Amino acid sequence: MRILRPTLAAALLAACGPALAGTVTVITSFPKDLTQAYKTAFEKANPGITLEILNKNTVAGIAFVRETPAGQRPEVFWASAPDAFEVLNRDKLLAKAPDALNKNVPDKIGSYPINDPSGMYMGQALAGYGIMYNTRYLKAHKLTPPVEWKDLLAPQWFGHVGITAPSRSGTMHLTVETILQGEGWDEGWQTLLRMSGNASAVTERSFGVPDGVNNGQFAAGPVIDFFGLSSKYSKFPVEFVYPSETAIVPANIALIDGAKNSEEGKKFIAFTLSEAGQELLLEPKISRLPVLPYDQMKGKIPEGYPDPAEIAKRSKVHFDADLSQSRYYVVQSLYDQTITFRLKELQAATRAIYEAEAKLGDKAKSGKPAELLAQARKLAWAPLVDGKRAADPAFLKIFAGNKKDAAVNQQITQMEGEWNGKARANYEEAVKLARQAAAL
């Protein structure tokens, strides 16, 4: 029996080994091509640890973490939007994981910190925002390849653009904020409303825009770079361009406070930041920009691959995550009430303006027709909340409140209802004014 005991003990330890290791649950908005690659590589490098992927859009992911009791939460939050991590941090839902850091990652990309200065989350990849377009579609419809956001505002683009909503996509929220910060609140919203007036649909998820461009449903649309690049390097007939108003910011990863298996959650974070984890970003189906400098990637960078340092250098936008976080829910709500839920009416107003402009020609530039069209454009394309109000701390505080509080919820619901009704009335009036102008 004494001889058997060490053998028996070893056998028991071997049998119990996998049970001692646990499951690491990752809540993420990233597509399966990316998450499956990391799951396979991480589990191979860490036998006995199972990686469970919980796929939700960023807004739903934040809500899930908030609503899950401490001790039962997922281990890792992994998403593109730094402002989302600021929201989680504000709500004290993140935990520090300094031992997961890769010290070879630079402090900044351009002027933007790659890792949160307070140590609550880390940059895992770099991301830029731009326009993805289908080359065959453009050729068939004789559309000029877009270079800047404003290229998508031309009448020729009516019905050819695909968009999603910031409430449905963290990457779209970053795109919206990039435009707002690059152009200023009022002009930025005019760009968003005009671009949306040219849209044929608001997709349910961020994936819907690149999928629609890939299959020719849309000519073009705003996307995060890895959607465009992964399609291009997977041989779809698409191109991706970074406008001068873009932002190169980190896609982040963080340990969730109150998780079930924090120690092994840290192992996954460390793996994504390791050289092996960074090399996975370069796979054609993933096509993301590493946070590790290119000179440390040992010649693995494909020829012609975008250089985030160069893009950041020429970008006109110095992204402010604190500003974005402070108006996070205001931007989502205003976008939904005036675009997502009123797209049909916005499209009708946009079409009526274009038709009047085309019919009138030079007559649209002066006199009564010009006056009526100016009123129509303002009703259709000016934001219902101006920049001054959007910067008012008292106004922002309303939307930062807890919606489970009946008084807060009532106040927000009332405001949203007013915006929705006002948007509809404005768009319908814009149609009438444009038609009056066309009749002159």
Nearest to 301 by CA among 283, 274, 276: 283
Tally of CB atoms within 10 A around 8 = 11
Structure tokens given for 167: 């409430």
Are 423 and 351 in contact by the 8 Å Cβ rule? The answer is no
CATH of region 22-125+251-309, choose from 3.20.20.70, 3.40.605.10, 3.10.20.740, 3.40.190.10: 3.40.190.10
State the DSSP string of 138-201: HHHTTPPPP-SGGGGGSGGGTT-EEEE-TTT-HHHHHHHHHHHHHH-HHHHHHHHHHHHHTEEE
Structure tokens given for 349: 């107003």
Q: What is the pLDDT along the chain (440 residues), one digit of tens a residue?
A: 334 344 444 343 333 333 345 899 999 999 899 999 999 999 999 999 999 999 998 989 999 999 999 999 999 999 988 888 999 999 999 999 999 999 999 999 988 899 999 999 999 999 899 999 999 999 999 999 999 999 999 999 999 999 999 999 888 998 999 999 999 999 999 999 999 999 999 999 888 999 999 999 999 999 999 999 999 989 999 999 999 999 898 999 999 999 999 999 999 999 999 999 999 999 999 999 999 999 888 789 988 899 998 898 888 898 898 899 899 999 999 999 999 999 999 999 999 999 999 999 988 889 999 999 999 999 999 999 999 999 999 999 999 887 778 888 999 999 999 999 999 999 999 999 999 999 99
Nearest to 251 by CA among 170, 309, 323: 170
In DSSP terms, 259 is beta-bridged to 73
Domain boundaries, the chain: 22-125+251-309, 341-439
User: Amino acid identity, residue 160?
Assistant: H
| Residues near 313 by beta carbon (within 8 Å), at least 6 away in sequence | 110
